[in-house]
């Protein structure tokens, strides 16, 4: 693992934490009508990275852009595109693909994950890595 860099967010905001996030610094979070919540669905849309340790109803400082530490949920390599796992940790994202296993439906769905950014350092599960936040949505596959 590379040494985590100093937090350098280009943009951040404060909304109230919906629940106790005091043990979730550098995890991936989302903004909801309830406030800031930990991401809990793999590949869901991410608002940013939690920079502080708020308890419920305290301001949550969330980085929406820049380079920040992020907690890894699996092995991360430099250059990996990052999505959330079910625990709000960053994991390598899979490129999108068209699901054609439905036996010829008129419209085949695109399956993919929302990407929050790119890993600038490597990490093992549970370690911190440097994340360049770049909200990309679902990433396409490379043409053959």
Q: What is the pLDDT of residue 105?
A: 60
Q: What is the pLDDT of residue 8?
A: 66
Cα(60)–Cα(4) distance, rounded to whole angstroms?
Answer: 21
Within a domain: 53 = yes
The domain that holds 38 is classified in CATH as 2.40.300
Q: Which residues contact 101 (CB under 8 A, 6 or more apart)?
A: none
Per-residue pLDDT at 87 exceeds 50: yes
Q: What is the pLDDT of residue 3?
A: 57
Q: What is the pLDDT of residue 11?
A: 66
Within a domain: 19 = yes
Residue 90: domain span: 8-138
Cα(108)–Cα(7) distance, rounded to whole angstroms?
Answer: 41
Give how many domains the chain has, as a whole number: 1
Cα(87)–Cα(136) distance, rounded to whole angstroms?
Answer: 20
Within a domain: 24 = yes
Q: What is the pLDDT of residue 121?
A: 96
Q: What is the pLDDT of residue 34?
A: 94
Within a domain: 2 = no
Q: What is the pLDDT of residues 91-121, one digit of tens each?
A: 999 876 666 676 666 666 666 788 999 999 9
Within a domain: 104 = yes
Within a domain: 144 = no
Q: What is the pLDDT of residue 55?
A: 97
Q: What is the pLDDT of residues 20-76, one digit of tens each?
A: 999 999 999 999 999 999 999 999 999 999 999 999 999 999 999 999 999 999 999
Cα(48)–Cα(135) distance, rounded to whole angstroms?
Answer: 9
Within a domain: 125 = yes
Within a domain: 1 = no
């Amino acid at each position: 693992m590379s040494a985590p860099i100093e937090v350098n967010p280009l943009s951040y905001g404060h909304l109230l934490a919906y629940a106790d996030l005091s043990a979730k610094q550098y995890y991936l979070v989302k903004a909801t009508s309830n406030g800031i919540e930990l991401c809990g669905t793999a590949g869901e849309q991410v608002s940013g990275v939690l920079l502080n340790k708020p308890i419920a109803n305290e301001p949550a400082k969330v980085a929406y852009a820049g380079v920040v530490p992020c907690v890894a949920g699996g092995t991360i390599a430099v250059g990996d595109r990052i999505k959330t796992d079910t625990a709000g940790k960053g994991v390598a994202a899979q490129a999108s693909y068209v699901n054609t296993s439905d036996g010829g439906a008129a419209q085949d769905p695109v399956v993919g994950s929302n990407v929050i950014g790119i890993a600038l350092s490597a990490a093992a599960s549970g370690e911190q890595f440097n994340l360049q936040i770049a909200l990309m949505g679902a990433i396409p596959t490379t043409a053959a």
